Structure 1
Amino acid sequence: MIKCIAIDDEFLALEIIENYVSKCPFLELVATFASPLEALSVLNGTGCDLLLLDINMPQVNGLDFLSAIANPPLAVLTTAYPQFALAGFEADVVDYLVKPFSFERFLKAVQKVQSRLAPVQVSGPEYLFIRSAHRMIRVDLDDILLLEGKKDYVAVHTPAQVIDTLTTLTAFQDKLPGKDFVRVHRSFIVALSKITAIERNIIYIGEMKVPIGDLFREELLRRIG
C-alpha cells in the first residue's frame, strides 16, 4: 500500500485527487492539505510514500517546499502551469500532471511511483500454491506463461494446464516476483522470459496472443529495454 498526501490550495482539485485515489487499490490517502506548511507535521511524523503536490500556491511555491523537506517522499506534481515541467524533473519528481488531467493519466503517474517503490527481490519463492476449487495446486513460477483476469477469477496458464482460482489479478500480482513478471493489460500479466515476440499491440507467447494496454505500454518497453 502506497501512503500518499495531497497538497493543493484549490478544494476542487483535492476532491478530484481523492476520487482518483479511491479508484486505485494500492493507494491510501493519508491526508489532504490546502497549504504545504500544514502538511509538515505529517511529513515529519508518520510520513508518506508519495506527495501529490501543486506548485503555484499562495504561501509557498510547491517546488521550494519540496526542496526544503529533509527526507522528501516521491513526488508527482499537479499543476495548471506546464512551464514548470523542466524545473519539476530537475527536482527528480516522478511525473508532472497538467490540470485538468484524466484518471488514466493519473494512473499512469502513480504506476511509475509503484515501480520505483517496488522492492528489489534478491531471492524469493520458486513456486506458489494456488487454490482451485477444493484443491491447493503447487505451480512452479518458471512454468507460468501468463495470468488472465476474468470477471470473478484468474486463469493461470502453464504449458500443461490452465488453473482457475477465485482471486483478482492485482492480488495475484502482489505474490509474483516483479523482476520476472509484468502487467501488460488490465486483464493480463505475462512472464517476461516467456515472451517470444512483440508486434504492434500484441505480445506472442508461443501461439498465444496477449493484447498490450495503452496504460501499460511504457512500463513494458522499459522492462524489455
Structure 2
Amino acid sequence: MKFKCIIIDDEPPAIRILENFITKISFLEKIGVFNDSLKALEFMNIQSVDVIFLDIQMPQLTGLQISKIISKDIKVIFTTAYPDYALEGFELNAIDYLLKPISFERFYQAASKVNIVPKREINSNKELEFTFIKTDGKNKFSKIFLNDVLYAESLQNYVCIHTAFQKIITHSSLKNVIESLPQNDFVQIHKSYVIALKQIEATDSFSVFINNKELPIGATFKNAFFERIDKNKI
C-alpha cells in the first residue's frame, strides 16, 4: 500500500531534501508540493491525501493552524527548525516532529510510523492512549503510544523506554515513569524493570521474555508479579 503525501514548506532546500527522501521509501508517493498554505488546503479539498510533511513557520497560515483545519484522517509530520513547538504539535496528534536539518535515518523513523498507524486504527474502536516523555533538550517531548511500550529500564539517573519501534531516554526515575503508566497494564518485575503485561512472550521462575529479550525477575517483586500472571492463566 502506498500513502499519498504532500510537502508544505516555503524553503526550497528543505523541499528538495524531503522530495529526495520520499523517493527512497517504497510506501510513500509524493502527489504535491506547496509553498503556499492556502493552495495546499485547496488541493486537499479535491484530492485525497494520507500524509503531510508540514513546516510550522509558513506565511498566511502556520503549520499548527493548518493541522487544526484539515481532516483528522490525514497524518501530520511536522518539519521545522524550531523545537519550541514540539509539545503543541503532539497535542494536535502529529505522529512525529522532525527538526531541521533532517537526516534520512530520522525521516525513515517518522515515515515508518505512517505505515503502522492505519493498522492500529483498524484494530481498535477507541482512540489510542499515549503519553509525552521529556527527552533531550529543555523543551523537547516525545510522544509514545502506550500500546507500543515493551518495557522501561532504569539507567541510574535516566530511564530508557523500549517500544516496538525505538528507544527513548528520559532524565527521570523509574518511580516517576511507573506513576505515569496505567497500573492495570504494567507491572514492576525488578528494581530496574517495568514491563507491559500484554507484551510478555513467556516467563519462568527467574525471567520474563519480551521481544526476544530476557529480563530478570527480582525477589522483591516476584510474588506480586506472579499474582498478576495467575489472573490470566488458562
Q: What interval of TM-score do these two structures reach, taking the shorter chain for normalisation?
A: 0.5 to 0.7
Match of 1:50 in 2: 51
> 1:65 deviation in Å?
1.5
Match of 1:29 in 2: 30
> 1:193 deviation in Å?
9.8
8 Å Cα contact 1:55-1:62 kept in structure 2: yes
Match of 2:70 in 1: 69
- Structure 2 distance, partners of 1:94, 1:5, is 15
> 1:71 deviation in Å?
4.7
8 Å Cα contact 2:75-2:114 kept in structure 1: yes
1:155-201, Cα deviation, whole Å (9 max, x unpaired): xxxxxxxxxxxxxxxxxxxxxxxxxxxx98xxxxxxx99889869xx
Size of the aligned set, in residue pairs, is 138
8 Å Cα contact 2:201-2:209 kept in structure 1: no
1:8-27, Cα deviation, whole Å (9 max, x unpaired): 00011111000000000000
Name structure 2 gaps, 5 residues minimum.
125-163, 166-198, 214-234
Alignment of 1:61-210 (within 5 A): 61-71=62-72, 73-118=74-119, 120=122, 203=212
> 1:42 deviation in Å?
2.0
Shift in CA distance, 120/58, structure 1 to aligned 2, threshold 3 Å: closer
Shift in CA distance, 91/203, structure 1 to aligned 2, threshold 3 Å: same
> 1:55 deviation in Å?
0.1
- Structure 1 distance, partners of 2:82, 2:17, is 18
Shift in CA distance, 107/198, structure 1 to aligned 2, threshold 3 Å: farther
Q: CA RMSD in A?
A: 3.0
User: Structure 1 vs Structure 2: percent identity of aligned residues?
Assistant: 40
Match of 1:2 in 2: 3
Q: TM-score, normalised by structure 1?
A: 0.54
> 1:99 deviation in Å?
0.3
SS at match of 2:102: coil
SS at match of 1:67: helix
> 1:113 deviation in Å?
1.4
- Structure 2 distance, partners of 1:96, 1:31, is 20
8 Å Cα contact 1:66-1:72 kept in structure 2: no
Code of the residue aligned with 1:9 in structure 2: it is D
8 Å Cα contact 1:195-1:203 kept in structure 2: no
Q: TM-score, normalised by structure 2?
A: 0.52
SS at match of 1:3: strand
